[in-house]
Amino acid sequence: MTAKTIPSLSLLLALFAAGCHDAAPPSRYVCLLDISASIYPETVREEFDAMDKLANRLNRGDQLVIIPIASNARNDVQGHIVRLRAPEQRMSFDGDLTRFHEEAHEKIAGLRAWAISHPSAHTDILGTLQVAEQELSPSAYGTKLIVLSDFIEDDGRWNFATDQALGSVALARRLADSARLHQKVPFSSAFLGRVRSRDSERLSTPRRDAVEAFWGELLRQSKRQGLIYADGIGSLATSVENGGAVEP
């Protein structure tokens, strides 16, 4: 064996070893963005800016679904869901991936323009979660849920700002236990980020604690209660910049 052959053989062995490792499974994100009238317009824009940053992190085969949280999820989101899936087959110079990212930003911009011009009068988070479930196939293992909202459900049946069912943390958790019987959330992780709103600024501390307890209990992961990040958009951006893990 010549000296020139040794480096070539070593390179082939290294490439073979790398190919033997299983490729990381694609990432799947389902994002719910609160566009209700109580959310400040500049905050709605920041929500979509966060989606642009997340779209930039999508690699081959990754998926991103963006669903606006509107007044009536079953009716209002029709035609206003962005579904993105990065191409799996590589082209020369990654031109296909560059084109995908450009198209992704165009679709996000279109949804942003609609959301800002059509602020919803109410907030149907529970209904939007049901819509999100329909976006998943039975084999969609590892899907990560992202919710950016003030978390004040106001769907015509419930108003979390005033209902006695959320008069305390204990009552809120009891309501969440009841809601879980009708709400199946097949996600591997849930990132819950609070955003600024006029309604949330008027909540008392006990009421805010009860609202957080409800969502933390409803979206609990295994034995770990869900955590609502106070700086939702900032915390999400930090997570994305650190690798896009979006883990709670």
Domain boundaries, the chain: 24-241
Report the alpha-carbon angle 200-205-209, nearest 5.
85
Secondary structure (3-state) at 143: strand
Mean pLDDT of the region 219-235: 83
What is the structure's pLDDT at 220?
82
Per-residue pLDDT of 64-78, as tens digits, reads 999 999 898 888 888
Predicted confidence (pLDDT) at residue 217 exceeds the cutoff of 70: yes
Strands across the sheet containing 28-34:
82-85, 63-69, 28-34, 143-149, 189-194, 228-229
Report the alpha-carbon angle 176-180-186, nearest 5.
130
Q: What are the tokens at 170?
A: 């204990």
Q: What are the tokens at 160?
A: 């979390």
The residue among 88 and 160 whose pLDDT is bigger is 160
Give, in words, the CATH class of 24-241: alpha beta
Residues belonging to the chain? 248
Per-residue pLDDT of 3-55, as tens digits, reads 554 455 454 444 444 444 456 788 899 999 999 999 999 999 999 999 999 99
What is the structure's pLDDT at 239?
82
Half-sphere exposure of 205 (CA within 13 A, CB side): 0
Read off φ and ψ for residue 169, nearest 5 degrees: -60, -40
Secondary structure (3-state) at 180: helix
Mean pLDDT of the region 115-141: 85
Q: What are the tokens at 176?
A: 């969440």
